[in-house]
Structure 1
Amino acid sequence: MKKILVTGSLGQIGSELVMKMREIYGADQVIASDIRNMDDHPAVQSGPFEILDVTDAKGMYEIAKKYQVDTIIHLAALLSATAEAKPLLAWNLNMGGLVNALEVARELGCQFFTPSSIGAFGPATPKDHTPQVTIQRPTTMYGVNKVAGELLCDYYYHKFGVDTRGLRFPGLISYVAPPGGGTTDYAVEIYYEALRKGRYSCYIAKGTYMDMMYMPDALNAIIALMEADTSRLKHRNAYNVTAMSAAPEDFAAEIKKHIPEFEIDYRVDPVRQSIADSWPNSIDPTAAREEWGFKAEFDLEKMTTDMLAKLRQKLDLTSKETVATV
């Protein structure tokens, strides 16, 4: 990677990935883009930034051509809960934007990355230690988009030789960007509310296990995959990656080690619960480990310690204060 265009740069992944890539490859080598502009956002301030609606194929091509990019990181998409509420918008944005990005990669000979998700699995998928290759019959629009996206990236690789690569991400947890409409967002909200109020009402039921990953591990996985020797990549566009399988009460138990008075209750959202119930309890990342050396650094305990410390700084709290007591 020498010159990189990132779409959806102001979203959860993009906000941090742009900054990390600029540290590695140079500020001028990473072109951030998003449909909106936030003048005070670090990704806007620290290097090149362009307004881009990914459904505008011509606009995307012109930006990529202008900067002579050789890599496209395509992140712009609606997430699971939002996509289920607006399925036609999700199809038009998630699939239309992906086709446009793949076409630009084909025309300009770019390396290409887009994330898939555990949402690509469905109720018929094996729930525990879900294999790399298995049945995929999702029951959500988001999941349909992800399966179609995996197949489309495979098609562009086999048909046109585009160097497409991708990861099936679990729920991603970050202290930088706020939650953005995902089913696993409770695993971000719970840390904020623990510090702000000392309690959290969870919209996902107790005992619901899903895979999770701390954002630093997700960023490292993207970069490691994109830098990997192409001859080693057998699965290429949809590697299972994960760091932990956890339920809401597991997060609560870890938080209570730092905030003993923390309490959790459950007010289940039927829509997001039904999405969660259709996903695996845990997935098997063996292929990613064997083919390009994937390894997660953060488990639930280490992530919780770091997450609370970083959020205390972000929310301007002392080590023992919560927002409610300030």
Structure 2
Amino acid sequence: MSEKILVIGANGQIGTELVNALRDKYGAEEVIASDINSPIYAIRHSGPFEFVNVLDKDNLHHIFTKHQPTQVYLLAAILSAVGEQKPKMAWDLNMTGLIQILDYAVEFGVKKVFWPSSIAVFGPHSPQENTPQYCVMDPNTVYGFSKLAGERWCEYYYEKHGLDVRSLRYPGLIGWRANPGGGTTDYAVHIFHEALKKGSYQSFLSANTALPMMYMDDAIRATITLMDTPAEQITIRSSYNLAGISFTPAQLAEEIKKLIPNFEISYAEHDPRQAIADSWPKSIDDSYAQKDWGWKLEYDLKTMTEDMLKNLKNVILA
């Protein structure tokens, strides 16, 4: 049986790259990109596209009826920093959207669903170093506790309905193909743009704020690898820890200086995103992902920085 894959939230930082990877793997016509807004030219013209509002049940039902997807990737969400500005909107989109997709996945017999969680599910009382898969989780942002609640719904639908839902707790994601979507880790993308455009950057996080990050190429590979893994190997139906590489703004700046020697970084004071970052882990234990489906990171800080600057330079100068 051929796959028919629906990606909801295709315009975002993850969706833009995931759609391309899935179309390369399954064929352009088998991957339906969808979003509430019109996408970049490449997404809309390399395969089918639908306008989808994840909160509109009639609209969603029409899309499921029309395409009969075998796999659904739900990426539509409001992220951490924006979520603190619009808390009720963030909760509604992140929760109601997920539950409606899970309901339709059961109704239409979808084989597999992917939904991204985040390191934001951890909180100030979670272990900050090498944060384990199972520990105290007391998130203090709307984004964080919507993701934690979402994890419980995903496991619930697996247990109660047999729905094959899979998830990753993404660290901060860094990529050059799309802009970030309003998260606390966005500095690690903005810094590359500003280094190339202006030779300087003011970080909204302090110099020594360590956070887990991951290059987008690794994140996309992890996502597809998880979805390709036989169901009997999946032991976690809430969401898998995914570690990435941990570094501070100062360490990233030093790596950029090796390639742009005159680059300078400064640090803002009293940015509200600092408090969010301070409540998150500094490093993550992803041994379950390694054991269950053979996860292995490819990019470290050095190779990520080199690849980001090389590719982003071409985009900015184009």
Q: Which TM-score tier does this pair reach, normalised by the shorter chain?
A: over 0.9
Give CA-to-partner distance per residue, 1:57-97, whole Å, 9 cap, x none.
22112212211211110000001100011000001111111
Give me the CA root mean square deviation: 1.0
The equivalent of 2:130 in structure 1 is 129
Bigger shift: 223-232 or 267-276?
267-276
The equivalent of 2:218 in structure 1 is 217
Distance 2:307 2:79 in 1: 25
The equivalent of 1:153 in structure 2 is 154
Which segments of structure 1 move beyond 3 Å, counting only runs of 4 or more? none
Distance 1:229 1:268, change over 3 A: farther
DSSP-derived class of the 1:58 partner: helix
The equivalent of 1:324 in structure 2 is none
The equivalent of 1:71 in structure 2 is 71
Alignment of 1:108-119 (within 5 A): 108-110=108-110, 111-119=112-120
> Retained in 1: the 8 A contact 2:90–2:142?
yes
Distance 1:150 1:47 in 2: 31
Alignment of 1:1-326 (within 5 A): 2-38=3-39, 40-110=40-110, 111-316=112-317
Counterpart residue type for residue 61 of structure 1 = H
DSSP-derived class of the 1:315 partner: helix
> Retained in 1: the 8 A contact 2:255–2:305?
yes
Distance 2:114 2:284 in 1: 21
CA shift, 1:131, in A, is 0.3
The unaligned stretches of length 5 or more in structure 2 are none
CA shift, 1:270, in A, is 2.9
> Retained in 2: the 8 A contact 1:199–1:264?
yes
Counterpart residue type for residue 73 of structure 2 = I
> Retained in 2: the 8 A contact 1:114–1:165?
yes
Distance 2:266 2:10 in 1: 34
DSSP-derived class of the 1:92 partner: helix
CA shift, 1:269, in A, is 4.5
Counterpart residue type for residue 22 of structure 2 = M
Counterpart residue type for residue 165 of structure 2 = T
The unaligned stretches of length 5 or more in structure 1 are 318-326
Bigger shift: 234-243 or 299-308?
234-243
Distance 1:149 1:132 in 2: 16
Distance 1:257 1:306 in 2: 13
CA shift, 1:233, in A, is 1.1
DSSP-derived class of the 1:72 partner: strand
DSSP-derived class of the 2:58 partner: helix
Counterpart residue type for residue 283 of structure 1 = I
Distance 2:5 2:263 in 1: 43
Counterpart residue type for residue 249 of structure 1 = A
Give CA-to-partner distance per residue, 1:111-164, whole Å, 9 cap, x none.
111000000000000000000111111000000100000000000000011000
Number of residue equivalences: 316
TM-score between both structures, scaled by the size of structure 2: 0.98
CA shift, 1:243, in A, is 1.9
Distance 2:136 2:48 in 1: 41
Give CA-to-partner distance per residue, 1:268-288, whole Å, 9 cap, x none.
353100000000000101000
Distance 1:103 1:226 in 2: 20
- Aligned-residue sequence identity (percent) comes to 49
CA shift, 1:252, in A, is 0.2
Counterpart residue type for residue 74 of structure 2 = H
